[in-house]
Structure 1
């Protein structure tokens, strides 16, 4: 390996290390149990909302009238 390749590898490694270091510095760690619980509660609410939306979509798409209207529209 020639010196140019070694310098290039060192520069690339330093750049990657700098990016990783800055990324992990900006990440805000969750430090308390209350924060974890509030995050879990928010995620549970979001999941419940998404499940309700999926059920509504399944009802619309599963409806026989929807299929009939789609077929007429395609004609």
Structure 2
């Protein structure tokens, strides 16, 4: 059974550039219920635009915390 977390990500193009250049590799975000979550930047790559990465995302993971998938929900 997959668990899920809903997060909001707001990264400017300058912030995304830091990840691209390898200066950072994890994105710190908060779930809708206020929990802090750290996700690998590479799972967000498909959502990069010229403006950066903006939106709400559903992250799915298994009972052991292993990443299963991500989708943009808004």
**What TM bracket, shorter-length normalisation?**
under 0.3
Greater relative contact order (Cα < 8 A, sep 6+): 2
TM-score by length of 2: 0.18
TM-score by length of 1: 0.18
**Higher relative strand content:** 2
